[in-house]
Structure 1
Amino acid sequence: MTMRSLATLFVATVALLGAAPAFAGPSPPDNRIELTKMTGRWYEVARLPNKTQKDCQGGTSDWVRAGDGYSVVQACHKGALSNPATEWKAKAKVIDPKTNARIKMSFFGGMLSQEYWVLDHKSDWLILGTPNGNYMWLMSQRPVLSAQAKAQAVARVRQLGYDVSRLEFPQPARN
């Protein structure tokens, strides 16, 4: 590699590093979540793109209290709402009783687990994400949020540091 090529590579690297910093993830949640508010059906309003949910429409997440945790069934329709639902089953357990906002979910009989944080919770929506900031979902207990509630929630997603231009807004599930 010539000196000129090295200099060009160095300048390009500095330019990339000087760009907006990568999102390192949200701050740990510190607001207490009332656990009874987590139960029931949650509808996916928006999400950051992820391989598991590629082309998923009508996403739902059903939370049922089970022992000292929850039984969770997540579902979506790949491609179109008219297609059969694909389901993922998980066990969820609160790992921070001070806030109840940090949850560990185990999939496939515990072979795979992931920590999730309830980053914010209002009466009609919640924001769920992973500590590293790679995954984020805006969920509602109704299939469709009002325009005002959706705008408020997306503004909160932006405040948390997420790039809202990357959000996917899948077709809502049918009741």
Structure 2
Amino acid sequence: MNHFLRNSPFLLLGLVLLSSCQSLPNNPPPTVKAVELDRYTGLWHEVARLPVFFQDEDERATAEYSLNDNGTIALVNTAIAPDGSTRSVTGHAVPVPGSENTRLEVTIDNFFAKIFGSSPDFGNYWIFKLESDYSVALVGSPNRKTLWLLAREPQIPDEQLRQYIDYASQLGFDTDKLILNNRPL
């Protein structure tokens, strides 16, 4: 993807405007029951994801979350190109009231997001599946257009990978389009 298009503030503006116009879909996928934010924070590696316009197919990514004193989460998402070069964005996440921290409203820190707002009140980052030891998480949007399989390590066992992909498919995500980091499907 063209580097200019990936980093264009006009694309970010479009994303912000589109996300603010969304409504909660009918029959959204269920989330886990509750999330302990202090256990959820830390470094996560992207194991698999659906394609997104802001990340090339051959890039890997990490997400680092840290808990703020006010109960919000600071985030740093880093895309890693095959040549090792990186680019990062920062932002914050606010738990949706009444969701037991299973749904978050994530905002990327940029000029346009601060002017136009971010996601709807139902959140744009939902936690659908989470290992009891907080080692693997399946997260995405309620409209099923974004999905990430995250883990504390860069890879997970093949059987566990298959279980998470199967679960995502049961939730209605188009898992045929998944991009897997460092392994075939």
Read off the aligned partner of 2:180 and give its amino acid letter: F
Tell me the TM-score normalized by structure 2.
0.72
In the alignment of these two chains, the number of paired residues is 148
- Aligned partner of 1:143 in structure 2 is 154
2:88 maps to amino acid: E
Judged with a 3 Å threshold, the aligned counterparts in structure 2 of structure 1 residues 35 and 108 are, in CA distance, closer, same or farther, namely closer
5+ unaligned residues in a row in structure 1: which ranges?
1-22
Q: Partner of 2:54 in structure 1?
A: 52
- 1:29-108 correspondence runs (5 A): 29=31, 31-67=33-69, 68-78=71-81, 80=82, 82-108=83-109
Displacement of 1:170: 2.5
Alpha-carbon distance between aligned partners in 2 of 1:111 and 1:121, rounded to the nearest angstrom: 32
Q: Which residue of 2 aligns with 1:117?
A: 126
After alignment, is 163-172 or 68-77 more displaced?
163-172
Q: Which runs of 5+ in 2 are unaligned?
A: 1-24
Distance verdict in 2 for CA 1:95–1:144, change over 3 Å: same
Task: Give the equivalent residue in structure 1 for 2:18.
Answer: none
Higher strand share: 1
Amino acid of the residue matched to residue 145 of structure 1? Answer: I
Identical counterparts, % of pairs: 23
Q: In the superposition, relative to structure 1, how do residues 94 and 110 fare at CA in structure 2: closer, same or farther (>3 Å)?
A: farther
Q: Evaluate the alpha carbon distance shift between residue 50 and residue 86 of structure 1 in structure 2; reply closer, same or farther with a 3 A threshold.
A: same
Structure whose CA Rg is larger:
1
